[in-house]
Structure 1
Amino acid sequence: MRWYHGENIVLWKNSFRRAFLYPSGKEGKNMTVFEELKRRGLIAQMTDEKEIEELINAGKATFYIGFDPTADSLHVGHFMALCLMKRLQMAGNKPIVLIGGGTAMIGDPSGKTDMRKMMTKETIQHNVDCFKKQMSRFIDFSENKAIVVNNGDWLLDLNYVDVLRDVGAHFSVNRMLSHECYKQRMERGLTFLEFNYMIMQSYDFYKLFQDYGCNMQFGGDDQWANMLGGTELIRRKLGKDAYAMTITLLLNSEGKKMGKTEKGAVWLDAEKTTPYEFYQYWRNVSDQDVIKCLKLLTFVPIEQIEEMERTLEGQQLNQAKELLAYELTALVHGKEEAEKAQTAAKAVFGGGGNNADMPTTVLKAEELTDGGIGILTLMVRCGLSPSNGEARRLVQQGGVSVNDTKVTDPKSVIYPEAETILRKGKKVFHKVVVEN
Structure 2
Amino acid sequence: MKLFDELKWRGLINDISSTDLEEKLNAGGITFYIGTDPTGDTLHIGHYSSFLIAKRLKDAGHHPILLVGGGTGLIGDPKPNTERPMITKEQLDYNYKKLRKQVEELFGFEVVNNYDWMKDIHFIDYLRDYGKYFNLNYMLAKETVKSRMDIGITYTEFSYMILQALDFLHLYEHKDCVLQVGGQDQWGNITAGIELIRKKLGKEAYGFTMPLITKADGTKFGKSEGNAIWLDKEQTSSYEMYQFLVNSEDEKVVDYLKKLTFLDKEVIDELEEKVKTEPFRREAQKVLGREVVTFLHGEAEYDKAVKITNALFKGNLKDLSQDEVADAIKGFEIMEVNDGLNLVDCLVDANIASSKREAREWISGNSIQVNGEKISDVDYIVDKNQSIYKDYSIIKRGKRNYYVVESK
1:54 to 23, 38, 63: 23
Partner of residue 209, structure 1: 172
1:231–1:352 CA distance, 2 compared to 1 (3 A):
same
Pick 1 or 2: higher relative contact order, CA cutoff 8 A, min separation 6: 1
Q: Is the 8 A contact 2:337 2:406 kept in 1?
A: no
Using the TM superposition, name which of 94-103 and 120-129 deviates more.
120-129
1:242 to 197, 201, 205: 205
Q: Deviations over 1:172-231 (max 9, x none)?
A: 211211222112222222011100000000000000000000000000000000000000
Partner of residue 344, structure 1: 308
1:148 partner amino acid: V
1:174 partner amino acid: N
Q: What is the deviation of 1:424?
A: 9.2
Indicate the SS of the match to 1:64: strand
Q: What is the deviation of 1:130?
A: 1.3
Aligned partners of 2:295, 2:283: CA distance in 1, in Å?
18
Aligned partners of 2:10, 2:284: CA distance in 1, in Å?
16
1:293–1:376 CA distance, 2 compared to 1 (3 A):
farther
Q: Is the 8 A contact 2:272 2:284 kept in 1?
A: no
Alignment of 1:56-71 (within 5 A): 56-71=25-40
Question: Does residue 75 in structure 1 map to residue 44 in structure 2?
Answer: yes
Indicate the SS of the match to 1:69: coil
Question: Does residue 122 in structure 1 map to residue 99 in structure 2?
Answer: no
1:430–1:78 CA distance, 2 compared to 1 (3 A):
farther
Q: Runs (4+) of structure 1 moved beyond 4 Å?
A: 372-379, 401-404, 422-435
Partner of residue 319, structure 1: 283
1:45 to 1, 15, 27: 15
2:132 to 169, 184, 202: 169
Q: Deviations over 1:73-104 (max 9, x none)?
A: 11011011111111111111100000000000
Aligned partners of 2:15, 2:211: CA distance in 1, in Å?
9
Alignment of 1:25-424 (within 5 A): 31-49=1-19, 51-109=20-78, 111-140=79-108, 146-312=109-275, 313-315=277-279, 317-350=281-314, 354-356=319-321, 357=324, 358-360=327-329, 368-372=337-341, 404-405=367-368, 415=382, 417-419=386-388, 420-422=393-395
1:361–1:94 CA distance, 2 compared to 1 (3 A):
closer
Q: What is the deviation of 1:349?
A: 2.1
Q: Is the 8 A contact 1:360 1:432 kept in 2?
A: no
1:137–1:39 CA distance, 2 compared to 1 (3 A):
farther
Percent of pairs identical after alignment?
40
Q: What is the deviation of 1:359?
A: 2.5
Aligned partners of 2:157, 2:51: CA distance in 1, in Å?
26
Q: What is the deviation of 1:136?
A: 2.9
Aligned partners of 1:75, 1:338: CA distance in 2, in Å?
18
Q: Is the 8 A contact 2:38 2:68 kept in 1?
A: yes
Q: Is the 8 A contact 1:231 1:241 kept in 2?
A: yes
Q: Is the 8 A contact 1:41 1:248 kept in 2?
A: yes
1:340–1:370 CA distance, 2 compared to 1 (3 A):
closer
Q: Is the 8 A contact 2:368 2:398 kept in 1?
A: no
Aligned partners of 1:129, 1:159: CA distance in 2, in Å?
26
Q: What is the deviation of 1:371?
A: 3.3
Q: Is the 8 A contact 1:177 1:183 kept in 2?
A: yes
Q: What is the deviation of 1:428?
A: 6.8
Indicate the SS of the match to 2:230: coil
1:130 partner amino acid: K
Q: Deviations over 1:261-281 (max 9, x none)?
A: 225111011121111101100
1:183–1:328 CA distance, 2 compared to 1 (3 A):
same
Q: Deviations over 1:314-372 (max 9, x none)?
A: 2565111111011111111111101110121122223968444242369xxxx653435
Indicate the SS of the match to 1:193: helix
1:174–1:130 CA distance, 2 compared to 1 (3 A):
same
Indicate the SS of the match to 2:182: strand
Indicate the SS of the match to 1:289: helix
Q: CA RMSD in A?
A: 3.0
Q: What is the deviation of 1:308?
A: 2.3
1:97–1:161 CA distance, 2 compared to 1 (3 A):
same
Aligned partners of 2:281, 2:142: CA distance in 1, in Å?
40
1:249–1:350 CA distance, 2 compared to 1 (3 A):
same
1:150–1:361 CA distance, 2 compared to 1 (3 A):
closer
Q: What is the deviation of 1:108?
A: 0.3
Indicate the SS of the match to 1:118: coil
Q: Is the 8 A contact 1:359 1:430 kept in 2?
A: no
Partner of residue 378, structure 2: none
Indicate the SS of the match to 1:359: helix
Partner of residue 8, structure 1: none
Task: Show structure 2 runs of 5+ residues with no match.
Answer: 370-380
Q: Is the 8 A contact 2:41 2:94 kept in 1?
A: yes
Q: TM-score, structure 2 length as denominator?
A: 0.83
1:293–1:423 CA distance, 2 compared to 1 (3 A):
farther
Indicate the SS of the match to 1:136: helix
What is the aligned residue count? 372
Q: What is the deviation of 1:431?
A: 5.0
1:246 partner amino acid: T
1:336 partner amino acid: A
Indicate the SS of the match to 2:250: coil
1:360–1:191 CA distance, 2 compared to 1 (3 A):
same
Aligned partners of 1:206, 1:427: CA distance in 2, in Å?
54
Q: What is the deviation of 1:307?
A: 2.7
Q: TM-score, structure 1 length as denominator?
A: 0.78
2:292 partner amino acid: L
